[in-house]
Amino acid sequence: MLRTTATRSLVKSFAKVPTSRSSYSAASATFRNASPLRQLSNKRPQVLASLPRPNRGPILFATTKAGPPYDKIDTKAEEKVAGAVLEPHPEAVSTASSAIPVLESPKKENDADMMAGIKSDVKTIKETFSLNEVPRESLYIGAAGVLPYAATSLSTVYLAWDINHAHANGGTGVLFSPETAHQLLEWITPIQIGYGAVIISFLGAIHWGLEYAGYGGYHSYRRYMYGVIAPAVAWPTIFMPVEYALITQFLAFNFLYFADARATVRGWFPAWYSTYRFVLTFFVGASIVATLVGRGQIVSADHTLKSPVDYIKSDKDAQWVALEREDKERRSALEKESDEEDAETEEGGEEEGNDEGKEEGKEEGEGKEGDDDKKDAK
């Protein structure tokens, strides 16, 4: 009955008495009335509140304030230049002086140096092999230590070539016969292997000396082990076949170089020692490779390359052949003697038979003569 527009406006005009509620109940009501999933699509368009901006007035003033010019303008000089009259110089002007031809070829660029990389590598090699930082005494003694290796290696290569030359021509070599060359090889190769074992042991002993001196600190067994491993690997090679011994020593030299290079980085050796060892190891390794190649060429050209055991075996076989030949000669001599004796005995028997026949004939003749005498007597 009272639900009209007038009554509604009248009711709304009265002020509502605020009711006191606990914060917990208000918050619970807010969360209870909230939608379970609030997304941007469910929200009404809202105007973003403008964020407070800092006052940039001082910054803009400091950055935009016009300061004095870097170069002071000389107005008098400019007025003087402006009032000057340009002088013509027709002798300096031509048809090609101020115009670029349409078909002008572009300027030729400098060609890139194709040998730049090689030149850089050569420079690096020169700096490496110069050994300027190495003390002169160590350099001279190290070079002298490489000479025996180079001498034995070159000797092996030459003897291999001489043997191949002799077998190719079917005669003797240039300086030596194949037998003499083989004999020299049997002397030179053990010298090279024994000398290599000595040098490897010496390289391991250097670690002991620097440990005693305390160079780079004291490292105990970490340093001593190099002096133990080096001779333990080097000296058994003198009992190996030639090729296996040379290969083992080649690997030992490279392993020691690697160990010395790492020790130099750690400060156990002087800074120049790794370069010094690289150069010496390079020449020693090249000598070993040359020796192996030379011996390989001999084996490919002459399959009768003998070891000392082969020489002993061949001598033994030759002795057996000589004994068999002497035995055959002795047997043939004995057979000849027995044949001669048999022939003599046969000849003797025939002569005895002839003598007996002659004696029987004489007796028969004498008997006939007796009978004749008897007949005459009668």
Residue pLDDT, tens place only, 13-56: 555 555 545 444 444 444 455 554 555 445 555 544 455 555 55
In 214-307, which ranges are continuous DSSP H helix? 221-234, 242-266, 273-301
Residues 6+ apart with CB under 8 A from 133: 271, 272, 275
pTM over the 0.75 mark: no
What count of residues does the chain have?
Answer: 378
Q: Which two tokens stand for residue 181?
A: 């060359």
Q: How far apart are the first and last CA of the chain?
A: 234
Instruction: Give the residue with greater pLDDT, 93 vs 142.
Output: 142
Residues 6+ apart with CB under 8 A from 14: none
On average, the pLDDT of the chain sits at: 75
Quick: pLDDT tens for 139-192: 999 999 999 999 999 999 998 888 887 777 766 767 777 778 888 888 999 999
pLDDT at 24: 46
CA distance linking residue 196 with residue 247, whole number of Å: 11
Q: Are 215 and 239 in contact (CB under 8 A)?
A: no
Percent of the chain residues topping a pLDDT of 70: 63
Region 187-216: what's the mean pLDDT?
A: 92
Region 312-320: what's the mean pLDDT?
A: 76
CA distance linking residue 227 with residue 263, whole number of Å: 13
pLDDT at 88: 82
Asked if pLDDT for residue 317 goes beyond 90, the answer is no
From residue 170, alpha-carbon distances to 122, 157, 160, 162, 298 in Å are 45, 20, 15, 12, 15
Instruction: Give the residue with greater pLDDT, 178 vs 285.
Output: 285
Asked if pLDDT for residue 264 goes beyond 80, the answer is yes
CA distance linking residue 325 with residue 194, whole number of Å: 42
Q: Which two tokens stand for residue 37?
A: 């999933």
Q: Are 245 and 238 in contact (CB under 8 A)?
A: yes
Q: Are 268 and 218 in contact (CB under 8 A)?
A: no
Quick: pLDDT tens for 112-135: 677 888 888 888 877 777 778 888
